[in-house]
Structure 1
Amino acid sequence: MPPADVIPEGGEAPPADVPGPLLTSGTSADVYALDDERVLRRYREGRDAAPEVALLRHVHAHGFPSPDVLDASGSDIVMTRLHGPTLLQALGAGEISLPDAAQVLADLHAGLHGVPAPESWKVAADHDWPSLSGGPVVVHLDLHPGNVILTESGPGVVDWANARTGTAELDVAITAVLIAEVVVDAGGDYSQAARVLLAAFLHASDVSPVPALEDAAGLRAVAPLLLPGERELVPQAAALVRAMVDVTAHP
Structure 2
Amino acid sequence: MQGSLGEKIGEGAHSEAYTWAPGQVVKLLKPGVPRGMAWFEVRMIRAVLAAGVPVPEVFGEVTLDGRFGIVLQRLDGPTLLQLTRTGAVTFEQAGAIVAALAMSIHKTPLPSEVLSMRECMEARLDHDDGKLPKHIAPEILTLIDRLPPGDGLCHTDLSPGNVIMTSEGPKLVDWAGVMCGPAVLELGFLHVVLSELAPEIADNPERPRATNAAAQTEYARLTGISPAELTAAMEPYLPIVRTFIVLGDVVPSLRERLIQRIEAGLRSED
Q: TM-score, normalised by structure 2?
A: 0.69
Percent identity reads 28
Residue in 2 that maps onto 1:111: 104
Residue in 2 that maps onto 1:170: 185
The one-letter amino acid paired with 1:110 is M
Residue in 2 that maps onto 1:11: none
In structure 2, the CA distance between the partners of 1:92 and 1:234, relative to structure 1 (3 Å rule), is farther
Residue in 2 that maps onto 1:72: 61
Partner of 1:72: helix, strand, or coil?
strand
Partner of 1:222: helix, strand, or coil?
helix
Instruction: Choose the corresponding residue for 2:170, options 155, 160, 165.
Output: 155
In structure 2, the CA distance between the partners of 1:26 and 1:100, relative to structure 1 (3 Å rule), is closer
Deviation at 1:171, TM superposition (A): 1.4
Kindly indicate whether the alpha-carbon contact (under 8 Å) linking 1:69 and 1:78 is maintained by their aligned counterparts in 2.
Answer: yes
CA distance in 2, matches of 1:79, 1:232: 36
CA distance in 1, matches of 2:78, 2:169: 11
Worse-matched range after superposition: 211-220 or 17-26: 17-26
Residue in 2 that maps onto 1:138: 153
CA distance in 2, matches of 1:219, 1:98: 27
Instruction: Choose the corresponding residue for 1:204, options 196, 218, 241.
Output: 218
Deviation at 1:144, TM superposition (A): 0.3
In structure 2, the CA distance between the partners of 1:214 and 1:124, relative to structure 1 (3 Å rule), is closer
The one-letter amino acid paired with 2:184 is E
The one-letter amino acid paired with 1:205 is Y
CA distance in 2, matches of 1:154, 1:36: 21
In structure 2, the CA distance between the partners of 1:125 and 1:236, relative to structure 1 (3 Å rule), is closer
The one-letter amino acid paired with 1:47 is R
Instruction: Choose the corresponding residue for 2:196, options 156, 160, 181.
Output: 181
In structure 2, the CA distance between the partners of 1:23 and 1:108, relative to structure 1 (3 Å rule), is same
CA distance in 2, matches of 1:98, 1:72: 36
Kindly indicate whether the alpha-carbon contact (under 8 Å) linking 2:153 and 2:180 is maintained by their aligned counterparts in 1.
Answer: yes
Deviation at 1:161, TM superposition (A): 2.2
Instruction: Choose the corresponding residue for 2:20, options 34, 46, 50.
Output: 34
In structure 2, the CA distance between the partners of 1:152 and 1:120, relative to structure 1 (3 Å rule), is closer
Residue in 2 that maps onto 1:191: 205
CA distance in 1, matches of 2:61, 2:164: 22
In structure 2, the CA distance between the partners of 1:29 and 1:124, relative to structure 1 (3 Å rule), is farther
Partner of 1:34: helix, strand, or coil?
strand
Residue in 1 that maps onto 2:132: none
Kindly indicate whether the alpha-carbon contact (under 8 Å) linking 2:199 and 2:208 is maintained by their aligned counterparts in 1.
Answer: no
Kindly indicate whether the alpha-carbon contact (under 8 Å) linking 1:141 and 1:163 is maintained by their aligned counterparts in 2.
Answer: yes
Deviation at 1:125, TM superposition (A): 11
The one-letter amino acid paired with 1:82 is L
For residues 46-86 of structure 1, the C-alpha deviation after alignment (integer angstroms, 9 at most, x for no partner) is 51332211111111111111111122368432111111111
Partner of 2:245: helix, strand, or coil?
helix
Worse-matched range after superposition: 64-73 or 101-110: 64-73
In structure 2, the CA distance between the partners of 1:102 and 1:129, relative to structure 1 (3 Å rule), is farther
Structure 2 unaligned segments of length 5 or more: list them: 127-140, 224-229, 265-270
- Could you list the runs of 4 or more consecutive aligned residues of structure 1 that deviate by over 4 angstroms after TM superposition? 120-135, 182-185, 233-237
Worse-matched range after superposition: 88-97 or 216-225: 216-225
In structure 2, the CA distance between the partners of 1:30 and 1:102, relative to structure 1 (3 Å rule), is same
In structure 2, the CA distance between the partners of 1:114 and 1:188, relative to structure 1 (3 Å rule), is closer
Kindly indicate whether the alpha-carbon contact (under 8 Å) linking 2:157 and 2:189 is maintained by their aligned counterparts in 1.
Answer: yes
Alignment: residue pair count? 222
Worse-matched range after superposition: 142-151 or 192-201: 192-201
Kindly indicate whether the alpha-carbon contact (under 8 Å) linking 1:136 and 1:167 is maintained by their aligned counterparts in 2.
Answer: yes
CA distance in 2, matches of 1:226, 1:94: 27
CA distance in 2, matches of 1:113, 1:32: 30
Worse-matched range after superposition: 80-89 or 134-143: 134-143
Deviation at 1:25, TM superposition (A): 3.6
CA distance in 2, matches of 1:172, 1:205: 9
Residue in 2 that maps onto 1:5: none
